[in-house]
Amino acid sequence: MTTTVTLTGTGLPNVAPGRAGAGVFVKHNDIVVQFDAGRATCNRLIEAGLKLADLDAVFITHIHSDHVFGLAELVLSRWIETQFDKVAIPLPIFAPSGGAARFVKRMLEPYEEDTHIRREHTGSREVVLDAREFPASFTIAEIW
């Protein structure tokens, strides 16, 4: 049984050279998850040797911008990386109810024109968004 925990970003909302936004990448045996997706998360995951297609889930802890700046980039980059695979493997994105869940459900709307054009030119499949909401709570709860 092997577990690795990698900080993909520890930065603040303000941009700083060499720092990425908030995020933690955890690999436990064959399970690969990302907690939060701040600025430059994709770059950090690739630098860590991960293919975005290998991600099993993303968990958003809360709606602060520095925790979600890189989420749409992660979803779209994963789609581009896998768009010609025979079977689409959705990436579950877990977010607490309220603002975080609403953000996840709507985050790809600004990119609809872009993905439509890409699909028209390449014949690839649609972007699959698997947004999953869990109750924000002060108690311990299993969500996945």
Distance (Å, whole) CA 10 – CA 18: 10
CATH code of the domain containing 67: 3.60.15.10
**CB contact at 8 A, 35 and 23:** yes
Mean pLDDT of 29-40: 97
Distance (Å, whole) CA 123 – CA 44: 29
Output the pTM of the full model.
0.92
Distance of CA 114 to the CA centre of its chain: 19
Q: Examine residue 33 and state whether it is found in any structural domain, yes or no.
A: yes
Q: Examine residue 11 and state whether it is found in any structural domain, yes or no.
A: yes
Q: Which of 56, 66, 85, 130 is catalytic?
A: 66
Q: How many structural domains comprise the chain?
A: 1
User: Is 80 exceeded by the pLDDT of residue 85?
Assistant: no
Q: Examine residue 49 and state whether it is found in any structural domain, yes or no.
A: yes
Lowest-pLDDT range, 8-12, 37-41, 122-126, 127-131?
Answer: 122-126
- Residue 30 annotated as catalytic: no
DSSP string, 30-51: TEEEEE---TTHHHHHHHTT--
Range(s) of the domain holding residue 25: 3-99
Tell me the pLDDT band of 122, cut-offs 50, 70 and 90. Answer: confident
